[in-house]
Chains A and B, each alone.
Chain A
Amino acid sequence: MYEKRFDGRAFDELRPMKAKVGIVKNAVGSAMFQIGKTIALAAVYGPRELHPRHLQDISSGTLRCFYNMMAFSGSGERVKPGPSRRSREIGLVTEKAILPVLDLTEFPRTTVDVFIELLQTDAGTRCAGICAASMALADAGFKMKDLVAAVSCGLVGGKIVVDLNYEEEAQEDAVDIPIAIIPRTGEITLLQADGIVTREQLKEAISLAKRKCLEIYEIQKRALKERYEKEVK
């Protein structure tokens, strides 16, 4: 049984977080979200014309998210640059995690592109990427119902924990359950799992994630407010 977490945290304790918006001047919106040693950067470009044309949606803009780990950001050997099956799938689930809060109907036929780069990783990268991406879209001023907050919950040594780090995730029996929610409604927009869990454990993990996402939400909102206050000054 996992009695004490490797880094000394309580089982329901998030790693320290930092968030900032407006980190890429060239982009229409951008954000950095750090949780523990995982650092995600996100930049938004668009709305701009979507090519090839047959992909254009006449009723709305299209959200495209691209996830990438910098070559030196992973533990162990260098990550080969360029898209992988893993990074493409994460891009896809990131889009799906954010779409429910984002309204692009004002921009038919266009694309809004979010580029997510991981500068350093210590697990929880897709969730950090989603947090950064939703902040970057808000920074860009797109019509949104809410932000999206995300965190990974899981099982380590039979214990339900929040915000697994790499060391925990690497445990043989570890189960990783990344979850994104719309904080104001509690609705789930990302849910994945790999590993053996009982129905009860899964329910408990989801309710823990929902609770902890509210803490993340506060950090996200504060970063956006700080930017806004600065601009008013």
Chain B
Amino acid sequence: MITRDYIISLINSNKRFDGRNLLDYRDIKIEYNVSEKNAEGSARVKIGETEVVAGVKFEVGEPFPDTPDEGTIVVNVELTPLASSEFEIGPPGIDAIEIARVIDRGIRESRAIDFKSLCIKEGEKIWLIFIDIYPINDGGNLLDASYLAAIAALKNARFPALVEDKVDYKTRKENLKLNFLPIECTVYKIHNKYVIDPTHEEEKMINARLTVAIREDGKICAIQKGGKGPISDKDFDEMLKIAYEKAKELRSLLK
């Protein structure tokens, strides 16, 4: 049994019970096309014991009235009770909604996907890209694992064919173009220390977290400050610096 005090005393002396340094990710594995028969894009990400799958589906829909020439993305996270005894059956709760919205912003605001290129007929038909994310095992840091699975699934997504305005799902066409490869990295603050990729046990000790989405040109495209505790200017500077470094590391895994 790993106690709360033990975890904190370790972290205070810059150690962790699994032997990692505070700013180390666990082993990360990315696998593509894990559900390729019907999903236009799919990926599985494992970070240590955490495992997440994501799949992409294209549909033809109607544009929003204020953006008649733009398609869009829909990000959905299902914290299925398969993945943890702490998840319950039912519509997405606030945790699932937060993860989905943070991922949505990271992708949407990066301009990685040119929404205008998803227009089929102005004012009438656009492509809707659904990104559905399912944790298979929650071993901590679902935020980063889910984001990586989502961007990996998008990276290998291919448009289905369009025949007389109807989708022919049996025929795949060109790859979805990503103009940038935005990466989200979450830096956690536990008892005045900054920590990357907490396990499920460590996650319970978090005072604050900062998720930053960063493009390869160094521009930031989304931020989420989470957790109960506040962060100071110094915290923010340090956490941001760490996020930049770690985002680079994560991006190299996607190539």
Number of interface residues of B (CB under 8 A): 33
CB distance from A14 to the nearest CB of B (A): 18
> Which residues on B sit within 8 Å (CB–CB) of A83?
89
Instruction: Decide if B55 touches A76 in the complex (CB within 8 Å).
Output: no
Complex Cα distance, B53 from A24, in Å, reads 13
Nearest to B82 among chain A residues (CB) is A115
Contact among A42, A78, A122 with B132 in the assembled complex (CB-CB below 8 Å): A78
A26 in contact with B85 given A72-B38, A72-B130, A81-B76 (CB within 8 Å): yes
Instruction: Decide if B81 touches A45 in the complex (CB within 8 Å).
Output: yes
Nearest to A69 among chain B residues (CB) is B38
Instruction: Decide if B38 touches A119 in the complex (CB within 8 Å).
Output: no
CB distance from A8 to the nearest CB of B (A): 17
Contact among B82, B130, B138, B167 with A71 in the assembled complex (CB-CB below 8 Å): B130
Contact among B40, B132, B169 with A70 in the assembled complex (CB-CB below 8 Å): B132
A52 CB–B CB distance under 8 Å: no
> Which residues on B sit within 8 Å (CB–CB) of A23?
136
Instruction: Decide if A24 touches B137 in the complex (CB within 8 Å).
Output: yes
A134 CB–B CB distance under 8 Å: no
Complex Cα distance, B114 from A218, in Å, reads 51
Contact among A26, A45, A116 with B137 in the assembled complex (CB-CB below 8 Å): A26
Instruction: Decide if A115 touches B49 in the complex (CB within 8 Å).
Output: no
Instruction: Decide if A71 touches B83 in the complex (CB within 8 Å).
Output: no
| Residues from 106 to 128 in A contacting B, C-beta threshold 8 Å | 113, 115-117, 119-122
> Which residues on A sit within 8 Å (CB–CB) of B132?
70-72, 78, 81
Nearest to A120 among chain B residues (CB) is B35
Instruction: Count chain A CB atoms within 10 A of each CB in B38, B49, B59 and give the residue with the most.
Output: B38
Instruction: Count chain A CB atoms within 10 A of each CB in B37, B56, B81, B169 and give the residue with the most.
Output: B37
> Which residues on A sit within 8 Å (CB–CB) of B137?
24-26
Complex Cα distance, B42 from A39, in Å, reads 14
Instruction: Decide if A66 touches B138 in the complex (CB within 8 Å).
Output: no
Contact among B80, B85, B167 with A117 in the assembled complex (CB-CB below 8 Å): B80
Q: Is the interface of B mostly helix, strand, loop or mixed?
A: loop
A153 CB–B CB distance under 8 Å: no
CB distance from B191 to the nearest CB of A (A): 25
A43 CB–B CB distance under 8 Å: yes
Complex Cα distance, B56 from A75, in Å, reads 12
Instruction: Decide if A74 touches B91 in the complex (CB within 8 Å).
Output: no
Complex Cα distance, B252 from A30, in Å, reads 32
Instruction: Decide if B83 touches A122 in the complex (CB within 8 Å).
Output: no
Contact among B57, B78, B84, B89 with A77 in the assembled complex (CB-CB below 8 Å): B57
Complex Cα distance, B38 from A75, in Å, reads 5
Instruction: Decide if B57 touches A43 in the complex (CB within 8 Å).
Output: no
Instruction: Decide if A72 touches B37 in the complex (CB within 8 Å).
Output: no
| Residues from 94 to 150 in B contacting A, C-beta threshold 8 Å | 130, 132, 134, 136-139
B162 CB–A CB distance under 8 Å: no
Contact among B38, B59, B78, B84 with A26 in the assembled complex (CB-CB below 8 Å): B84
| Residues from 8 to 29 in A contacting B, C-beta threshold 8 Å | 23-27
A115 in contact with B37 given A71-B57, A77-B57, A78-B132 (CB within 8 Å): no
A122 in contact with B82 given A77-B59, A78-B57, A78-B130 (CB within 8 Å): no
**13 CB-based A-B contacts, threshold 8 Å:** A24-B83, A24-B136, A26-B85, A26-B137, A26-B139, A43-B82, A70-B55, A77-B59, A78-B57, A81-B78, A83-B89, A117-B136, A120-B36
Q: Enumerate the 4 nearest inter-chain pairs by beta-carbon distance, A residue then B residue, closest first.
A: A72-B55, A72-B39, A71-B132, A115-B82
Known: A66-B81, A117-B134, A120-B35. 19 other contacts (CB 8 A): A23-B136, A24-B82, A25-B137, A42-B82, A45-B85, A70-B53, A70-B55, A72-B35, A72-B42, A73-B38, A73-B39, A73-B55, A77-B57, A81-B76, A81-B78, A83-B89, A115-B80, A115-B82, A120-B38
Interface of A with B (CB < 8 Å)?
23-27, 37, 39, 41-43, 45, 48, 66, 68, 70-78, 81-83, 113, 115-117, 119-122
Interface of B with A (CB < 8 Å)?
34-40, 42, 49, 53, 55-57, 59, 76, 78, 80-85, 89, 91, 130, 132, 134, 136-139, 167, 169
